[in-house]
Chain A
Amino acid sequence: MLKLFRYLKNAFLPISVIVILLVLQAGCELSLPTYTSNIVNIGIQQGGIEDAVPEVMREETFWGLTAVMKKKDAEQVKKSYKLYSKKQVSHSKYKDYKKGKLYVCKKLSSDERETLDQTMSKAMLTLSSQAVKQLSANPKAAAGLSKSQQKMMKQMEGININEMPDSIISQAAISFVKSEYQAVGLDLDQLQTNYLLKTGALMIGLALLTMTAAVLVTLLSARLAARLSRTLRDKIFRKVMDFTNSEFDRFSTASLITRSTNDIQQVQMFVTMMFRIVVFAPVMGIGGIFKVLTTNANMTWTIAIGVAAIMMVIFILFSVAMPKFKVLQKLIDRLNLVTREILTGLSVIRAFSTEKHEEERFDEANKTLMKTNLFVNRAMTFMMPVMMLIMNGLTVLIVYVGAGNIDLGKMQVGDLMAFIQYAMQIIMSFLFISMVSIMMPRAQVAAERINEVLDMEVMVKDPECPRQFLPEKKGEVEFKDVYFCYPDADEAVLHNISFTAPAGKTTAFIGSTGSGKSTLINLIPRFFDVTRGYIFIDGQDIRDVSRADLCEKIGYVPQKGVLFSGTIESNLKYGKEDATEEEVRRAARIAQAADFIEEKEEKYQSPIAQGGSNVSGGQKQRLSIARAVAKDPEIYIFDDSFSALDYKTDVALRSALQKETNGSTTLIVAQRISTILHADQIIVLDEGNIVGRGTHEELLKSCPVYQQIAKSQLSEDDLKKAKEVSAHE
């Protein structure tokens, strides 16, 4: 997996931007609960009063508070407040207060405010309790106090300030502040509304920032992932274009196709997800834990329980379901196989009337698949409710434990709500991480498969400084002591092959399956390179010239007609893009393809479907011969290209070829003796050795392997007749 990331090397900038944005997003998302809790805590519960540091105080309150403080603290308070004279007051926003001077708070740093908050709140409480004592002695004065102050008084009775929990002190202090504001004549409702609007605006701003960051991350990561997969696809495709048969055999074509398509798709999906989840979830998780620790440490264990429970459920579920998941794919493949077998063997099935048997076979595969699928689906069905239950259960637990803490004054109701939110975020991030760790292996496998292709050492390479063909020769092919052994095979397929195919002549190769004749001929266009020995074309080792030059000389026709999607014309021009219309028509005529092309409605512009599936086998073969002919090459290579044709077409085609391509060297691999009867030279192969060479006549006399092949294909009569014909010649 990591290896693939090397292709992201030049994407350092976008990646770092993504990470920064993700951290930003996580930060914002984690701050949101603070604001939500503040809205409830301060905005609603405390009426918008944040702490025990009043913005404004009456003169007498100020002196009262400073009087009950330590000297040092009192100094601090005096420094933080400014005295407004009566005149100043009437010009300030407190002009409604007509009774005297006011102390107004200066701008404070958050640290200063916090220390002030503590000293002030204690002082407020002390003052209140003294007032209570005084008031108890003087009920008349008590009657002059506001209702809330009276309530406060009551609460203060018999309470030892030092024993009081902080949160209750601050709650009490806020009541004090509230009543002070009231006394000054501030509009408390207005104050609360302002606070709510301010916090709300902040929260929306934060949410906007979160969204912007998230959208940008999506934008960048989508581009990055798509770019990575584009790069990978290009690289793989280029690499595979360099592959020759041996690499194709190694991987199998089907597997290479999967690697170039599905596997890359998998990696792309994973990379997109990676940024959104793999990076984001831990950031959120860690951030959440950090926040929780600062909120209230002694409840963190509840989250640990939740996380442990979730992890356990995931672990159990996947250790139960995972093996079945793997089986599932096999069962789907099995069902596919049975269906494919039924479809391909339909005529056989009908011929033997085994429909019932096939239905049973299908049902068996279907049933096992269904059962396993049911199991896996049920296991997954189990997951959602359990996860929900764990999360809900955790909420209940937090509320229960939190109630105790609130009672002890260690936390506030709003904190509890924020804690629940953080807990959910942490759990979710763990959930995501574990999900990803389950998906990771799949992407990993895909990545490995891609890497295998990319890291493959290509066997056939272009020379660094290619030489030119000798100009005086025109299509002479020479094999000199050629050995060939497939990679990883123990035994050589070809042994000590030496021959010369003279320019302009026809050389044919015959032998039973496995004799190596196709391999031999495939060495010429360098589908493989020889293991030992040399192949010369026009006096030059084919490994010393550029592949472009080599291919220029060769017109290759494969065993099975292969066409590409496009039109008939585009296929015929495949080897020579600038071929004229006349050249294309001539090639089609020689390959005996002109007739059926002309019969088509769109003639040479008739579309060819992918892989040439819309023309018959024989037509495909003729078109692929025409494709080679259109190129007008010096050397023709026919790899058993005629066996899909019937005798008549075969003969007509070869005679046309002979007439029209005079001067080209022709190399033919054939199954049928009749195809090669008239070759200038026939080379008989048996188990990778040359066991005979000569003309048909000579070989019939001298070569036992040739005789055997001839006998199996032709009757005595035919042989005699063939003899007559060639004698006649």
Chain B
Amino acid sequence: MSNNTRKRGPMGGHGRGIAPAGEKAKDLKGTMKKLIKYMRRYYTAVLFVILFAIVSTIFNIVGPTILGDATTEIFNGLMRKIGGNGGIDFEKVSHILFMLLSLYVVSAVFSFLQGLIMTHVSNNVTYQMRNDISEKIHRMPMKYFESRTYGEVLSRVTNDIDTLGQSLNQSMTQIITSATQIIGVLVMMLRISLPMTGVVLLTLPLSMGLIGAIMSKSQPYFKAQQKYLGKLNGQVEEIYSGHNIVKAFHREEKEIEAFEEINGKLYHSAWKSQFFSGAMMPLMQFVGNLGYVLVAILGGFLVIKNSIEVGQIQSFIQYVRNFSQPITQLAQVGNMMQTTAAAAERVFEFLEEEEETEIERNVVPIESLNGNVTFEHVSFGYHPEQTIINDFSVNVKAGQKVAIVGPTGAGKTTLIKLLMRFYDVNGGSIKIDGHDLREFVRSDIRQMFGMVLQDTWLYNGTVRDNIRYGKLDASEEEIQGAARAAFAHHFIVTQPGGYDMVINEESNNVSQGQKQLLTIARAILADPKILILDEATSSVDTRTEERIQKAMDNLMEGRTSFVIAHRLSTIRDADVILVMNHGDIVEQGSHEELLAKGGFYADLYNSQWEAV
């Protein structure tokens, strides 16, 4: 299902009837083992949960027997009264009832304690899991994220872990209490009467069969419902996002037609799945009532034969009621376990993904480096069988400006990614001041670089925090200084709140151009030896444009810079131009050299003046 971020409210997850079985885990057993291992820190706590749950359930089971004792006592008292020799022994009844009440209180306390510990465990597990994912993200290669949508990772952090936490909390408790209840009730029933228990057990296959039949009948409808709901949501998302096109091409009727078709299918699967899951309750109730009647009739016979007391029948009848409920619950838990396992499986899959390995060989202090960059016979491909950069060499001296040009999709960003060590080269090497990049710890080498990208990245925090991002321990003066150098100071102070203005969630309370200035300020603050710039293609308003230009010039001053260039002025001023096409570097040299060469670059450069 796409984009299924259902919000869970107060009643989240407590459905009536049998919960729909979601997707199934590929490896239920393995995942459960992993989950249990993951929870090892909480073994003691879980042990207490089990203990408390059992105690609380047992107390609750004993309850009806004692209540039965009370009614028997009342009944006997009544008989005595009719018999003229005494009456109800209120002292005894009160005593029994007091016992009963204290039992219930103790049971409630244990059940509460059990719940407290269990919520503690499940909350901590989800907390720990989320943090593990957050830390994992930073250890994984960029490749992983480039082949996936953010939504995929996001849904693991939130939805999957949420599902896991909730179902862990519920199913764990329910398994224990249900199992205890079934065993306990069975024992109690056996103690009262063997033949009556036999009758109850006879109804068991009936209810099991019913549950099984209905579940297998409803399963395809649930799946169909999920499928069509997903399709429908996808269509809504797509059509709404592209509504201008739908309008401009006057396709409204056609889209409505397509929508209604899926909607109709959804309707059919929706009511059927709802019906089957809803019909479960009354059916089970009927089976319960059937058992009840059978027990009552049998009880009547036993009373005639004087082999059982009235009070005992009463408590037995209560047990009958308590017997079918945990069985239904266990069936539900079975379903829930599937969902839990499916969610856990996705989380573990993520946590077990390959990580970037660090092989540290020669640690040269970063501060001592000047920023001479050499590409030596570099070859690279995202997939081993598909090399896109073949034998590329270039020597960039400290302080030089390198322009990278080429049509879209030519692989300009690939070069940057290699430089930043988001990827490692397959062959050859990239060296900084003669040291292979791979000799450094990734995060160390990255401190050499400053980066200003086209799609600016700001986060939901103050303007100050966003600039400080370049150097987390920067002082206020440093921050403002960087903002001034980036021509951002002026616009910042004119905003409400100035440096304390909070960039909103969509970061649309500052303009595109202003965002650029902020990211430039951030890079200036970081004071890197080597710069990576990605010039914006879409222009902002003229004045801001000029400022950005100047700010970038300020930034590049005295630094080795790699610029993905779109502006001709930038390109012409560059010391080296790298011309890329189809992923490879096809030409390199200065503007004049390349023009004189009359190759791809000259073609590209002249094309914009081509008469149309």
List residues of B (1-20) whose CB comes within 8 Å of A's CBs. Answer: 2, 5-7, 9-11, 16
CA distance A159 to B84 in the complex (A): 10
> Contact at A416–B248, with CB atoms within 8 Å?
no
21 contacts between A and B (CB under 8 A): A36-B296, A200-B297, A203-B289, A207-B286, A222-B270, A226-B270, A243-B243, A260-B240, A318-B10, A325-B9, A352-B526, A366-B131, A392-B60, A407-B87, A512-B542, A551-B247, A562-B242, A610-B237, A616-B409, A618-B409, A627-B249
Residues B238 and A618 in contact, CB atoms below 8 Å apart = no
Contact B234 A343 (CB under 8 A): no
* Among A60-68, A283-291, A382-390, A467-475, the stretch in contact with B: A382-390
List of B residues within 8 angstroms of A362 by Cβ: 130-131, 134
* B:101-142 near A, CB below 8 Å: 101, 104-105, 107-109, 111-112, 115-116, 118-120, 122-124, 126-127, 130-131, 134-135, 137-138, 142
- Pairwise interchain contact A226-B97, C-beta atoms closer than 8 A: no
- The minimal Cβ–Cβ distance linking A330 to chain B, given in whole angstroms, is 11
CA distance A349 to B278 in the complex (A): 50
Q: Which residues of A contact B250 (CB under 8 A)?
A: 547-548, 551-552
Question: Does B112 contact A222, Cβ atoms closer than 8 Å?
Answer: no
Within 8 Å of chain A (Cβ to Cβ): is B299? Answer: yes
Per the bound structure, the CA–CA distance linking A229 and B450 in Å amounts to 53
CA distance A388 to B115 in the complex (A): 14
Q: Does B55 contact A (CB under 8 A)?
A: no
User: Is A257's CB under 8 angstroms from B407's CB?
Assistant: no
Q: Assuming A343-B153, A352-B470, what are 9 further A-B pairs, CB within 8 angstroms?
A: A44-B313, A172-B82, A200-B297, A222-B272, A261-B229, A381-B116, A525-B247, A547-B247, A713-B539
In the complex, the answer to whether B612 meets A651 with C-beta atoms within 8 Å is yes
- Which 3 residue pairs spanning A and B have beta carbons closest together? A381-B115, A214-B282, A551-B250
A227-B447 in contact (CB<8A): no
- Are B537 and A644 neighbours in the complex by a CB distance under 8 Å? yes
Please tell me if the beta carbons of B282 and A218 are within 8 angstroms of each other in the complex: yes
Contact A558 B240 (CB under 8 A): no
| Closest-CB distance, A239 to chain B (whole angstroms) | 10
Across the interface, A40 reaches (CB within 8 A) one of B7, B142, B239, B296, namely B296
Q: Taking the nearest CB of chain B, how far is it from the CB of A36, in angstroms?
A: 7
Instruction: Indicate whether A406 sits within 8 Å of B78 (C-beta atoms), given known contacts A44-B303, A196-B296, A389-B104.
Output: yes
Q: Which of A208, A318, A351 contacts B449 (CB 8 A)?
A: A351
A 632-670 binary contact with B (CB < 8 Å = 1; else 0): 000001001001111111111011001000000000000
A718 touches B285 (CB 8 A): no
Report the minimum CB–CB distance from B309 to chain A (whole Å).
10
| Assembled-state Cα–Cα distance A257/B163 (Å) | 23
B263 on the A face (CB < 8 A): yes
State how many angstroms separate the Cβ of A302 from the closest Cβ of chain B: 13
CA distance A403 to B91 in the complex (A): 11
Binds B, one of A70-78, A393-401, A476-484, A488-496: A393-401
Q: B145 touching A218 by the CB < 8 A rule?
A: no
Bits for B348-366, please: 1 = Cβ < 8 Å to A, else 0. Answer: 0000000000000000000
Given contacts A347-B453, A713-B539, contact A396 B97 (CB under 8 A): yes
Determine how close the nearest CB of chain B comes to the CB of A183; give it in whole angstroms.
Answer: 20
Contact B120 A558 (CB under 8 A): no
Residues of B within 8 A of A654 (CB): 612
Interface residues of A in 662-682 (CB under 8 A from B): 671-672, 674, 677-678
| Contact in complex: B279, A215 (CB < 8 Å) | yes
Contact yes or no, B119 A351, CB < 8 A: no
Contacts of A417 in B (CB 8 A): 71, 314
Alpha-carbon distance A346/B542, docked complex (angstroms): 30
The residue from A215, A260, A272, A339 contacting B153, defined by CB atoms under 8 A apart: A339
Interface contact A336-B540, CB-CB below 8 Å: no
Q: Is B590 an interface residue (CB 8 A)?
A: no
Do B420 and A565 have beta carbons less than 8 Å apart?
Answer: no
A-contacting residues, B267-294, CB 8 Å: 267, 270-272, 274-275, 278-279, 281-283, 285-286, 289-290, 292-294
Q: In whole angstroms, how far apart are the Cα atoms of A248 and B243 in the complex?
A: 9
Residues of chain B with a CB closer than 8 A to A157's CB: 84
Say if the beta carbon of A715 comes within 8 Å of chain B. yes
A151 to B83, CA, bound (A): 7
Residue pair B154, A722 in contact (C-beta under 8 Å): no
Cβ 8 A contact of A385, one of B97, B108, B317, B611? B108
Task: Decide if A725 touches B67 in the complex (CB within 8 Å).
Answer: no
Given contacts A260-B236, A527-B247, A646-B407, contact A722 B299 (CB under 8 A): no
Range of interface residues on A (Cβ < 8 Å): 35 or more
Q: Find chain A residues with CB under 8 A from B526 CB.
A: 352
Complex Cα–Cα for A32 and B572 (A): 93
Contact A644 B408 (CB under 8 A): yes
- Contact between chains at A341 and B460 (CB < 8 Å): yes
- Bound together, the chains give a CA A32 to CA B317 distance in angstroms of 14
Does A516 belong to the interface (CB within 8 Å)? no
Q: Does A353 contact B (CB under 8 A)?
A: yes
A632–B313 Cα gap in the complex (Å)?
86
Q: Which of A332, A343, A374, A556 contacts B158 (CB 8 A)?
A: A332
Q: How far is the CB of A98 from chain B (nearest CB, A)?
A: 27
Decide yes or no whether A708 CB sits under 8 A from chain B.
yes
Question: Which of A203, A208, A268, A435 has its CB near the most chain B CB atoms (within 10 A)?
Answer: A203
Given A374-B119, A403-B90, A556-B245, verify A611-B238 contact (CB < 8 Å). yes
Q: Is B472 an interface residue (CB 8 A)?
A: yes
Does A345 reach chain B (CB closer than 8 Å)? yes
* B294 neighbours in A (Cβ, 8 Å): 200
Contact B238 A610 (CB under 8 A): yes
Is B378 close to A, CB under 8 A?
no
**Residues in chain A near residue B10, CB distance under 8 A:** 318, 321-322, 325, 438-439, 442
> Given contacts A215-B283, A381-B115, A647-B607, are A610 and B244 in contact (CB under 8 A)?
no
> Measured between C-beta atoms, what is the minimum distance from A63 to chain B in Å?
27
Distance to closest chain B CB from A173 (angstroms): 11
Asked if A237 and B236 sit within 8 Å, CB to CB, the answer is yes
Residues of B within 8 A of A438 (CB): 10-11
- Asked whether, in the complex, the Cβ of B119 is within 8 Å of the Cβ of A381, the reply is yes
* Residues of B558-607 contacting chain A, CB below 8 A: 567-569, 572, 603-604, 607
Measured between beta carbons, the chain A residues less than 8 angstroms from B60 are 388, 392
By beta carbon, the residue of chain A nearest B129 is A366
CB of B524 within 8 Å of the partner chain: no
Closest to A238 in B: B256
A120 and B240 alpha carbons, distance in the complex (Å): 81
Which chain B residue has the least Cβ–Cβ distance from A195?
B300
A386 CB → nearest B CB, Å:
7
Q: Are B83 and A155 closer than 8 Å at their CB atoms?
A: yes
> In whole Å, how far is A169's beta carbon from the nearest beta carbon of chain B?
10
- Cα distance, A222 to B267, chains bound together (Å): 10
Known: A413-B75, A513-B540, A658-B612. A241 touches B300 (CB 8 A): no
- How many whole Å from A334's CB to the nearest CB in chain B? 8
Instruction: Flag whether B428 is at the interface (Cβ < 8 A).
Output: no
Minimal beta-carbon separation of A589 from chain B (angstroms): 17
Residues of A within 8 A of B150 (CB): 340, 343-344
The residue on A at minimum CB distance from B273 is: A222
- The contact string, 1 if C-beta is below 8 Å from chain A, for chain B 462-492, is 0000000110100000000000000000000
Instruction: From the candidates A189, A238, A241, A407, name the one contacting B246 in the complex (CB within 8 A).
Output: A241
- Check B457 for interface membership: any CB of A closer than 8 A: yes
Q: Write out the residue numbers on chain B whose beta carbons fall within 8 Å of the beta carbon of A218.
A: 274-275, 278-279, 282
The verdict on B26 contacting chain A, using a C-beta distance below 8 Å, is no
A514 touches B539 (CB 8 A): no
Contact of B48 with A by CB under 8 A: no
Chain A contacts for B135, CB-based, 8 A = 359
Could you tell me if B472 and A354 are in contact, using CB atoms closer than 8 angstroms? yes
Contact of B74 with A by CB under 8 A? yes
B50 at interface by CB-CB < 8 Å: no
Q: Give Cα A322–Cα B9 distance, bound, in whole angstroms.
A: 10
B451 touches A347 (CB 8 A): yes
**The residue from B145, B263, B538, B603 contacting A230, defined by CB atoms under 8 A apart:** B263
Cβ of B47 within 8 Å of any chain A Cβ, yes or no, is: no
Given contacts A226-B267, A332-B158, A646-B407, contact A403 B74 (CB under 8 A): yes
